[in-house]
Structure 1
Amino acid sequence: MGGHHGEPYKVPHPSIYKVENVPQLLEVKESLARQGLSDPWLRNEAWRYEKKAFGTHASRLKTFMFRGLGVGFCAFLVTIGAEYALGIGKGQGGHGHGDGHGDGKHH
């Protein structure tokens, strides 16, 4: 079958992700501390803010919105070309052409 031909994916060690490296999470941690609370799982969210690996929120949104746009546009052009080459859809826009109506003859 397909298989994986490259080097296997290496899972990073969890200790590389620190709340202190992420300003947004640090703010949450400090806010919780002011209320006498803590979140032991907060570090598990730090990977989401790794810009090298996952990009920014805006870049992920841009990728989501425009992924496949080039392929879709090419498919659109091929469809238009095929319709033009095969004569599909010609003469469907004009009402009354070739159906006997509007030529002054009454049946």
Structure 2
Amino acid sequence: MGGHHHGEPYTVPHASTYKVENVPQLVEVKEALGRQGLKDPWLRNEAWRYEPKAFGTHRSRLTTFMFRGLGVGFCAFLATVAVEYGLGIGKGQGGHGHGHGHDEGHH
């Protein structure tokens, strides 16, 4: 029994892998804090977010967010249309299928 063995388990990178000095945006924050006499000892913990190899670029994350599942959704749409067409659902329901204006006896 047990889990799936698809390869090496995920390993957490060593903390020294990510450095504030390698990220221009974080260098700006560090310098701005320094001008006010402040220091953020946890700033390095945000450096991983700016590593394109590990986390991707802003554009790639946005593209993934916007279009993830689009192919599956479109296939589901086509399947729904095909089933409705095959079963004849929705045909011959002119006027939204409510019969308004077709029966003069009801006012």
Q: Same fold (TM over 0.5)?
A: yes
The number of aligned residues is 103
For 2:65 and 2:54, the matched residues in 1 are separated by 16
For 1:82 and 1:59, the matched residues in 2 are separated by 35
Q: Calculate percent identity across the aligned residue pairs.
A: 75
The SS at the match of 1:43 is helix
Runs of 4+ in 1 over 6 A off after TM superposition: none
Q: Which runs of 5+ in 2 are unaligned?
A: none
**After superposition, what is the alpha-carbon deviation per residue over 1:2-43, rounded to whole angstroms, capped at 9, x for unaligned?**
534211112110111100000000000001001100000000
What does 1:4-43 correspond to in 2, within 5 Å?
Answer: 4-43=5-44
Q: Give the aligned partner of residue 66 of structure 1.
A: 67
Q: Give the aligned partner of residue 103 of structure 2.
A: 101
Q: After TM superposition, give the deviation of residue 59 of structure 1 in Å.
A: 1.2
The SS at the match of 1:39 is coil
Q: Give the aligned partner of residue 47 of structure 1.
A: 48
Q: Give the aligned partner of residue 4 of structure 2.
A: 3
For 1:96 and 1:72, the matched residues in 2 are separated by 30
For 1:25 and 1:68, the matched residues in 2 are separated by 33
Structure of higher CA gyration radius:
1
Distance change >3 Å, CA 29–CA 100, structure 1 → 2: closer
Structure 2 counterpart of 1:55, one-letter code: G
For 2:4 and 2:98, the matched residues in 1 are separated by 60
Distance change >3 Å, CA 100–CA 29, structure 1 → 2: closer
